[in-house]
Chains A and B, each alone.
Chain A
Amino acid sequence: MKKNGLFSRLLILLCFLFLYAPILVLVVFSFNASKSKAVWAGFTLDWYVELFHNGMILNALWVTLAVSALAAVIATVMGTAAAIGFRNLRRRTRSVCMTVNNIPLTNADIITGVSMMLLFLLAVSAWNGSLGRMLGIKWNMGFWSLLIAHITFDVPNVILSVTPKLRQLDPNIYEAAQDLGDHGFHAFRKVVLPEIMPGVVNGLIIAFTLSIDDFVISYFTAGAQTQTLSMVIYSMAKKRVSPEINALSTLMFAAVVALMVIVNLRQARQDRQARKRRETLSAQ
């Protein structure tokens, strides 16, 4: 067993090396003083400084943050409402809804992207050809189409993270509030929302992360004028490979890792609490 232990440890090390070697290279070279991608010429933060003087990148950063934040918030509200709706359905209808919800999650991004682009093009031309022309308002793909697309792929993920919390919820909790004289949205906000809040916040963070991360769907739905960070990186990499890309990618990677760490820590803590609660309930 001991020999095996050494071997398996080595194997794990190799696996992680393969997984993270590219990112490691990226991070290291974002601090490289020369433009070369092969020779280490000393440590510098120049590329990061340059990054924040590049108007196009700053603009894309703003678009990315705005789209991600807006999409995450809207999707969280919609997804939470949908998850609660699903919960109150009969079992068979509910499982159909969950399956429908899961399809976009496994669907290839490029198909989602292309299909949304087609839909938006159709909507834009229909609008511009009829009501828009009468009112003199011309609509184009841009920030709004990008936002709608992001909300669309965020919602299923929010539903997925809220549903388990709803399942853990005492089935009578809302009725208990009604019983004590409360009702409607006030009762929901007072007793249900606080109990499922951890799941809602996790959903929000996951949605935000996915939106920051996304390239394919954004690429097809952002139109000609709007660019997100990942789209900027792509277009920069097509023209010339600049260490600025490394710096920008490193920052994005760090942001996403930080968010994922937060989500995982939160989840671990909630699981611990849930286990504790179950133990006190069963230890009588």
Chain B
Amino acid sequence: MSKELIRLTDCVVKYDDEVVLDRLNLYINDKEFLTLLGPSGCGKTTTLRIIGGFQKPTSGDVFFDGKRINDLPPHKRKVNTVFQKYALFTHMNIFENVAFGLRIQKRPEKEIEQRVEEALELVNLPGYGKRSVDSLSGGQQQRVAIARAIVNRPQVLLLDEPLGALDLKLRKDMQVELKKIQQQVGITFIYVTHDQEEALTMSDTVVVMDKGNIQQIGTPQDIYNEPKNAFVADFIGESNIIDGTMPEDRVVRMYGKKFACLDGGFAPGEAVDVVIRPEDIDIVPVEQGQLTGTVTEVTFKGMHYDIIVDFQGFKWLIQTTDYSPVGARIGVKIDPDGFHIMKKSRYSGMFGDYSSYSSEYDELNEDTEADDEE
């Protein structure tokens, strides 16, 4: 990719004794779409605020284009932000909102008019200048916030969960549109979200964070196919994570049986976490199965069924288009490329068991997460 634009080295943020960021190291390339992804309280918003200049790291350095900018106040940074609740100025009309930054720069009136109209066209709101903020829907307010930031031609646009308040349909449309805007204006986007699907859809690079630490940095494909630890595997998509060992390269042992896989490079007999994605499991008749289990729960999801299968007390999630009734004995077959082997980490054993699985519980979780993020 292109050259490096922003670098954070050893950034620590502490409130009293609470460590919000723990020695964070990250570099961001010019013109890339980078997403900071993680659950609430993982430090992703704090990282964004450090880049925006609203938060000073307790220790560590921030570099922009090679210059240290720790002490540069926000109004002098070539960075603009789209805030979570938009932070539009409700006493001004749309035109004045978008023109705010240009007026501070004391641009000539003609240029202001032209650039504001261009920005409004970019976000699909041409001619909306005279409207009041209150007369717009949430999705439109969101676009105004983007126009207000982009009109200043920043080198970097920071977006703090900008789609959090929108409904699902609108959110999907905006994801596509945001990506389009980013390619059109050709600047760096740094995007904060707790929604893994959003991150995978839009990003060039995804940074998965938890508890103030970066868990993994990579392309969406890397993050999904080659998660580094149980946290990433569980947070990105659905994963069954099973204890296993690696007797030799390309062979993994679990449930007392050997399976062929594609991974290697572990010490002989090393204990590992084995990740199997629910969609990589084929259901076969019992006698052909590498493993056999009992179906304990079936949920219809539209395109597929989510079925929970008990394998000797450890419950797996399997996504399949074939219906198997509760109580049925089934066999499963997993191709070698369906296994992903991870080294043990501090997250081992915390994720990947679907014993307490419930589809409603999942949705509840997502809602509360969106609310208490600050």
Residues of A participating in the B interface, judged by any CB pair closer than 8 Å: 170-173, 175-183, 187, 190-191, 194-195, 197, 273, 276-277, 280-281, 283-284
A171 to B86, CA, bound (A): 10
Nearest chain A CB to B36 CB, angstrom units = 17
Which of A170, A179, A183, A190 has the most chain B CB atoms inside 10 A of its CB?
A: A179
B104 and A180 within 8 A (CB): yes
Which of B26-34, B134-142, B350-358 contacts the other chain?
Answer: B134-142
Residues of B participating in the A interface, judged by any CB pair closer than 8 Å: 52-54, 73-75, 79-81, 83-91, 100-101, 104-105, 134, 136-139, 141, 148-149, 152, 165-167, 170
B85 and A172 within 8 A (CB): yes
Which of A173, A175, A179 is the one whose CB lies under 8 Å from B149? A179
A-B contact pairs, 21 of them (CB 8 A): A172-B83, A173-B87, A175-B54, A175-B83, A175-B87, A176-B81, A176-B83, A178-B54, A178-B74, A178-B75, A179-B80, A181-B101, A181-B104, A181-B105, A195-B91, A197-B91, A273-B134, A277-B90, A280-B134, A283-B137, A284-B139
A241 to B298, CA, bound (A): 89
Which of A171, A173, A178 is the one whose CB lies under 8 Å from B73? A178
Residues of the B chain whose Cβ atoms lie less than 8 Å from the Cβ of A187: 75
A194 to B149, CA, bound (A): 21
A180 to B76, CA, bound (A): 9
A283 to B53, CA, bound (A): 33
Q: Which residue of A lies closest to B154 (CB)?
A: A179
Residues of the A chain whose Cβ atoms lie less than 8 Å from the Cβ of B84: 172
B75 and A191 within 8 A (CB): no
Q: Which residue of A lies closest to B100 (CB)?
A: A180
Nearest 10 pairs between A and B by C-beta? A180-B101, A284-B138, A176-B87, A172-B87, A172-B83, A194-B91, A181-B104, A178-B74, A183-B75, A170-B87
B152 and A191 within 8 A (CB): no
Residues of the A chain whose Cβ atoms lie less than 8 Å from the Cβ of B100: 177, 180, 182, 190
Residues of the B chain whose Cβ atoms lie less than 8 Å from the Cβ of A176: 81, 83, 87-89
Q: Which residue of B lies closest to A191 (CB)?
A: B89
Nearest chain B CB to A146 CB, angstrom units = 37
Nearest chain B CB to A280 CB, angstrom units = 6
A170 and B85 within 8 A (CB): yes
Residues of the A chain whose Cβ atoms lie less than 8 Å from the Cβ of B136: 280
Nearest chain A CB to B374 CB, angstrom units = 8
A191 to B86, CA, bound (A): 14
A183 to B74, CA, bound (A): 9
Residues of the B chain whose Cβ atoms lie less than 8 Å from the Cβ of A283: 137-138
Q: Which residue of B lies closest to A174 (CB)?
A: B87
B134 and A183 within 8 A (CB): no
Q: Which residue of A lies closest to B105 (CB)?
A: A181
Residues of the B chain whose Cβ atoms lie less than 8 Å from the Cβ of A194: 89, 91
A181 and B89 within 8 A (CB): no
Q: Which residue of A lies closest to B170 (CB)?
A: A284
Q: Which residue of A lies closest to B374 (CB)?
A: A171
Beyond A179-B52, A179-B74, A180-B152, whether A280 also contacts B138 by CB under 8 A is yes
Beyond A182-B104, A195-B91, A284-B165, whether A175 also contacts B74 by CB under 8 A is yes
B83 and A180 within 8 A (CB): no
B75 and A170 within 8 A (CB): no
A281 and B138 within 8 A (CB): yes
Which of A170, A194, A273, A283 has the most chain B CB atoms inside 10 A of its CB?
A: A170
Residues of the A chain whose Cβ atoms lie less than 8 Å from the Cβ of B165: 281, 284
Beyond A181-B105, A284-B139, whether A175 also contacts B81 by CB under 8 A is yes
Nearest chain A CB to B100 CB, angstrom units = 5
